[in-house]
Structure 1
Amino acid sequence: MDLKIFIVLLFTIFAGGHSLKCYECVNVTGSCSGVATTCPTANHTTCMSATSITTVDGVTYTHKSKSCIIPKDCGNLSANVVVSKSIVSMQCCNTDLCNSHDVPDSSFNSPNGKQCYYCDEKSCLNKLNCVGTEDFCITAEVNISSLLPTVKGCASKTICDAGPQWNGKVSCCQGNLCNSAVSVTTQYLLFFLYPFIFCILIH
């Protein structure tokens, strides 16, 4: 066998059997140092480090995490329904244990030109300026005492795409002020941004 062909085949065999290793941790406060973990499947070819900042009724929570993820799940995301807001700053890489550093906090406060409706105690036709990666409008019915029965606002596409992971469904649409009608099909939805972001980050 030609030596060059043999070397290529040998490299392919060893490369194909290699599983990515990433640091993995979940920590609400402080640094998230992580434990070296072998990624579970061939699809998880990316290491992720993320910091999320969630504000609910004026109280802010900071959540840091590291894990293996699928490449398509990598990206900054945010959601804002006024009474609750969450922003995730994420960095990804694809070499062993490359996600050792924590991601700095980021606010993504630059308006992106899109507007969506949001609800207060009087109306669900208040206008909200979306920022950063919030390119969809979102509507949901909730059964949580600290939130209004119906919430509306701005959201990133990643949040809308992850809807099936929730205990219920949300209605997302693309286009300015497209969430004017209440079109959610479920009567109650466990919709609370902090646990939701947590589920995305450890997915």
Structure 2
Amino acid sequence: MSVLLVLAGLVLLVSPGLGLECVQCTDNYNTSCSGNVKNCSGEELCVSIITQSVAANGKRSFTFERDCGAAEWCNFTAAMSSLLSMQIRSTCCSTDSCTPPEPSLEPKVNKSSNEIQCPVCLSHSLRKCVASTVQNCTGDEKFCSLYELKNSAGLTFIKGCASESFCRAPQRKKLENGKLTMGVIKCGSDALQTPLLLLIALLGTLTCVV
């Protein structure tokens, strides 16, 4: 019996550590949601992410999401301005089934020009997003960005001004209706040659407008 106990202890020592258990859910109307608990991998934490999109006609929509995520999502904020503007805020916590603090969206404070100009366009399903106009970037949105989203609704492309944090958003992927949903962000001064990271905080809002 003692040998079996020793062997069991050795198995526990060499087995990979279990990650946190976090609630996974999405809501397009409220800043809270409930759902099933999932096992996170590695050093992931429990995160809450809220994404707001504002169309050119002023129509607003948002998505609130709880899931597992990298530590970089703790107190994360990012923004992109184009024909469809987006703002992302997120929080995290580090115990099983914990509820992260509610992330809050704040009005853009610095609206002064930063002397950066970027091409802007928004396209659904087409292979290209051809920019016919340029936009004067403001505040900390000092990068020209191209966001490409592929999901069950098809392809969406957005060009515009973005903050550095938007360009370096932590990598995320999501399985939606049995299909992998993922986005690619490209940032640079000449509208984008090199993909940087994957982002998928915009699922609900992109299918509505993005």
Q: How would you bin the TM-score normalised by the shorter chain?
A: 0.5 to 0.7
TM-score (norm. length: structure 1): 0.59
Q: Report how far residue 98 of structure 1 moved.
A: 2.2
User: Sequence identity of aligned pairs in percent?
Assistant: 12
Amino acid corresponding to residue 23 of structure 1 in structure 2: V
Does 1:90 pair with 2:99? no
CA spacing shift, 1:99–1:113, aligned 2, 3 Å: farther
Whole-Å separation in 1 of the counterparts to 2:80 and 2:119:
14
Show the counterpart of 2:46.
47
- Equivalent positions of 1:7-18 (< 5 A) are 17-18=17-18
Give yes or no for contact 1:24–1:34 (8 Å, CA) kept in 2: yes
The alignment of Structure 1 onto Structure 2 pairs a total of residues equal to 164
Q: Report how far residue 197 of structure 1 moved.
A: 7.8
**What SS is found at the alignment partner of 1:72?**
helix
Q: Report how far residue 65 of structure 1 moved.
A: 0.8
**What SS is found at the alignment partner of 1:76?**
strand
CA spacing shift, 1:163–1:106, aligned 2, 3 Å: same
Q: Report how far residue 40 of structure 1 moved.
A: 3.1
**What SS is found at the alignment partner of 2:72?**
helix
Whole-Å separation in 2 of the counterparts to 1:28 and 1:196:
7
- Equivalent positions of 1:15-164 (< 5 A) are 17-44=17-44, 46-57=45-56, 58-74=58-74, 75-81=76-82, 83-99=83-99, 101-110=101-110, 114-119=114-119, 123-124=133-134, 126-131=135-140, 134=141, 136-140=142-146, 151-160=159-168
Q: Which deviations, in whole Å up to 9, do the C-alpha atoms of 1:43-68 show, x marking residues without a partner? A: 32x11112211112221102111111
Whole-Å separation in 2 of the counterparts to 1:152 and 1:34:
34
Unaligned runs of 5+ in 2: 1-8, 121-130, 149-156, 174-180, 196-200
Unaligned runs of 5+ in 1: 1-8, 143-148, 174-178, 187-192, 199-203
Which structure: greater helix fraction? Answer: 1
Show the counterpart of 2:123.
none
**What SS is found at the alignment partner of 1:33?**
coil
Q: Report how far residue 36 of structure 1 moved.
A: 4.7
Q: Report how far residue 196 of structure 1 moved.
A: 8.9
Whole-Å separation in 1 of the counterparts to 2:117 and 2:51:
24
Whole-Å separation in 2 of the counterparts to 1:117 and 1:123:
10
Q: Report how far residue 28 of structure 1 moved.
A: 0.7
CA spacing shift, 1:100–1:55, aligned 2, 3 Å: same
Whole-Å separation in 1 of the counterparts to 2:52 and 2:30:
13
Amino acid corresponding to residue 79 of structure 1 in structure 2: M
Whole-Å separation in 2 of the counterparts to 1:94 and 1:113:
39
Which structure: greater strand fraction? Answer: 2
Give yes or no for contact 2:63–2:205 (8 Å, CA) kept in 1: no
* Farther off after superposition, 156-165 or 100-109: 156-165
Give yes or no for contact 2:26–2:33 (8 Å, CA) kept in 1: no
Q: Report how far residue 150 of structure 1 moved.
A: 7.8
Show the counterpart of 2:187.
172
CA spacing shift, 1:159–1:25, aligned 2, 3 Å: farther
